[in-house]
Amino acid sequence: MEKPIVTIENADIRIIYIRFRGTYQEFRKNSRKLFQQLFDFAESNNLIIPDFTKVLTIYHDNPFITNEKQLRTSVAMTVPPIIPIEESGDICITEISGKFGVGHFEITAGEYGAAWNYMYEEWLFPGEQKPRDAVPFELYVTEPPKNFKSKSFTDIYIPIE
Amino acid sequence: MENYIRLINKTEDYIEANLDKKITLKELAANVHLSEYHFHRIFKKFSQETLNNFITRIKLERSGIYLKVNRDITITEIAYRYGYCDSSSYCKAFRKHFGKSPSQFRNEQDNTSANLTNRL
């Protein structure tokens, strides 16, 4: 994995999301279906804007602290800030805001763990930035890799003070 | 609110946005535009935890992550940040949930903070 460029950004993102509760293995099995559910909602509500809409995965808990059956992972999609949206079914609206360290990665499907590890162990902990208590997430700048060889651009957002 | 999953999601979002406050049933009900009675009834029906346990667990687990990654912050400061009025009530709740004190938890030579990164 190539060393990423890390920038400091102030985010103010409105999202729709579906939250999954359960182990990461179960999440992996269900994630495609959840993203499809999100896309279907976004399409039927005319929320998809080419070159603007991004999808993300939000990790709410730490698997070494929270019981694995209670781990929360959300699949989410950015939506325009002012369009009225009516929540429906399992889909909720919220906002992500605040300061983040953002690692800009070009990685394969097998390198996500290393990318997260880089952001905490090599960028955050030894550096000058202080962690902020908010949820970190990965934002898919381009479509996530469909196989283990191809790479895609993914930004990892770490909340900082 | 017909959909209890949205109710739980919004309740979690509210708690996480107000970790430093003492959160009441009244606030949580108002957050989802329900009466206290109706909110509590739905929550009780669909959640496997009591509301108090639910609030406490979210706060303690978030504080557990925070104290691991912010090693220079005192336990008293952490207690205030997570809505406890003093470190003793925080430590008591923490020990009840995790079976160890916040200091023991922080100083354990595991790689929990590193594994914040071990997402998928």
Q: CA A53, CA A9: separation in Å to the nearest integer?
A: 18
Instruction: Output the CA–CA distances (angstroms, integers) from residue A127 to A26, A107, A122, B60, in the order listed.
Output: 34, 23, 8, 26
- For A46, phi then psi, to 5°, come to 50, 45
Chain A residues touching B3 at Cβ < 8 A:
89-90
Interchain contact B118–A (C-beta under 8 A) = yes
Interchain contact B66–A (C-beta under 8 A) = yes
User: What would the CATH number be for the domain defined by B4-117?
Assistant: 1.10.10.60
* Residue ranges of domains in chain A, CATH in brackets: 5-159 (3.20.80.10)
Interchain contact A28–B (C-beta under 8 A) = yes
Whether ipTM tops 0.90, in short, is: no
Token pair 């999440």 in the structure block, residue: A27
Interchain contact A29–B (C-beta under 8 A) = no
Average pLDDT rounded to a whole number, residues A46-68? 91
Size of interface A-B (CB pairs under 8 A): 77
3-state secondary structure of A123: helix
Residue B117: per-residue pLDDT: 46
- Angstroms from A17 CA to nearest CA on chain B: 10
- What pLDDT, in 10s, does the model give residues A33-48? 999 999 999 999 999 9
Chain A residues touching B61 at Cβ < 8 A:
61-62, 65-66
Residue B2's pLDDT band, with cuts at 50, 70 and 90, is low
- What pLDDT, in 10s, does the model give residues A84-137? 999 888 999 999 999 999 999 999 988 999 999 999 999 998 999 999 999 999
